[in-house]
Amino acid sequence: MLHHALGELLGSVADDARWSDALARYAASFRADLLGGAFLASGLDQLAQWGAEFAAHPEVDYWLQSPSSDGAPALLAMGVTPEAARRYATHFRLQDPLWDDAMAQRARLGAVGTWVATDAPVHATRGFRRTEIYSDFLREYGIGTRMFGGSQGASHPVGNLFMSVYRQGDDEGFAPEEVARFRAEFGGVQRAAFLHREMVALRARTQGLESLMEQMPMGLLFFDTAGRLLHANARTRLLSARPESAALRALLRGPLLASTADAALRALFQQSLLGRSGCVELPGTEGGLLLVTLPLSDLAALGVCLRAPGVAWVVLERSLCSEAAVALARQAYRLSPSEADLLLALMRGQTPQDFADARGSRISTVRTQMSALLAKTRTQRQQDLVALVARLMLLAPGQVAQGALPTGP
């Protein structure tokens, strides 16, 4: 049965405010005062190699700024003082019987497994109070007994968890059932720590993007390359609340590459990954909402510098955005009045034939206008036109210089 403290930990992986408190409560569920340390590292060699750096920078946030795919270790919690951590990292680890015990267990497990060691068995038969390390190091900092857990064999570069819980002062030590529970739950704790690390890394990659997206009057979504939604701005969330926006709500709930995702949206996402423009009509919105791809180079033009690739989409409302969009395009690309009228019709979902019928014009005349429109905007298809205009709306008005206009989707 899942202990409620572990369940709370798993439930807080995406919430920075709750994560630290959940870790502290998990330690408290073992009658422990604090976490002595929780680290994600590629293995014990990396943990030992970076020990002095962990001691020099015990602030968790310091270690959670770079993407985990870089292979850098991560400090998830530290309950001891920087001075204590530094002393342990540089000297006392070499004399710690608990570390030796843990390493012996690790050797017995082979390449894959989880181990838990404690320096205070239930009857305290090892005389932990009298060992040199306690009188010279731990007791000085109010530390009584510890449990140390570790795992190995994870494929991710920072997928192995190393973590200790300790009690302040002297006591009877951890009971056998507490040691057994820590061992049984350690895989779940590792999973929570890894997911938390990933969420923080994803946010670091998109630093500044969320605040920018919230300033935009149109809907914006940003996904990582695995199709996971990183952020949907307020306008998108408002649009998804409409009764007819079931497709948009589904898009906000699940990964785009899931087998249950809409096939057209999956295709658009794959197209977006290749840096190609595109747009699709959202099902059920009766021509009201378009999803338009936005190249990340345009985000850079807006002042957002991303550390990792992703996919940005615009949710375009034809009824509200079309006239403003066409006005920008007319000025930027010096469109004639008839070309601007045609572009407005296309933005509203009409076909060239619809436009010709509405104006009483020959289709050949409209096709000539369409060719001129494509030539001036350096696009090749109607959907490229729509995507280009959506990009232009983000970069203007007032921000698109005549010499720095987008030249194609």
Residue closest to 162 by CA, chosen among 10, 33, 45, 14: 45
Q: State the angle between helix axes of 4-11 and 16-28 in degrees (0 to 180), rounded to the nearest 10.
A: 160
Q: For residues 329 and 396, what is the distance between their CA atoms, to the nearest angstrom?
A: 10
Tell me if 294 sits within 8 A of 394, measured CB to CB: yes
Q: How many CB atoms lie within 10 A of CB 48?
A: 14
pTM of the model: 0.54
Classify burial at 210, counting beta carbons within 10 Å of its beta carbon; exposed 0-12, middle 13-18, buried 19 or more.
Answer: middle
Tell me if 209 sits within 8 A of 201, measured CB to CB: no
Q: What is the pLDDT of residue 407?
A: 42
Q: For residues 321 and 218, what is the distance between their CA atoms, to the nearest angstrom?
A: 8
Q: What is the pLDDT of residue 181?
A: 92
Q: For residues 313 and 227, what is the distance between their CA atoms, to the nearest angstrom?
A: 12
Tell me if 387 sits within 8 A of 293, measured CB to CB: yes
Q: For residues 222 and 238, what is the distance between their CA atoms, to the nearest angstrom?
A: 16
Residue closest to 52 by CA, chosen among 31, 71, 73: 73
How close are the terminal C-alpha atoms of the chain, in Å? 54
Tell me if 167 sits within 8 A of 58, measured CB to CB: no
3-state secondary structure 86-104: HHHHHCHHHHCHHHHHHHH
Q: How many CB atoms lie within 10 A of CB 56?
A: 13
Q: How many CB atoms lie within 10 A of CB 198?
A: 19
Beta strands in 271-374 (DSSP E): 279-281, 289-294, 310-317
Query: pLDDT tens digits for the chain (409 residues)?
Result: 567 888 888 888 877 778 888 988 998 898 887 777 889 998 888 888 888 888 888 888 888 776 676 778 888 888 877 777 787 777 777 777 778 888 888 888 887 888 888 876 544 444 444 444 444 456 666 677 788 899 887 777 778 899 988 887 665 678 888 889 999 999 889 888 888 887 777 666 655 556 656 666 678 888 877 788 877 888 888 888 888 888 888 888 777 777 677 788 888 888 888 877 677 777 765 557 878 776 665 555 554 555 556 788 888 776 666 677 788 788 778 889 888 898 888 877 778 888 899 888 899 999 999 999 989 888 888 777 777 776 666 555 433 333 333 444 4
Q: For residues 154 and 113, what is the distance between their CA atoms, to the nearest angstrom?
A: 9
Residue environment code for 226-262, b if the CB has 16+ CB neighbours within 10 A, otherwise e: ebebbbbbebbeebbeeeebebbebbeeebbeeeebe
Q: What is the pLDDT of residue 368?
A: 92
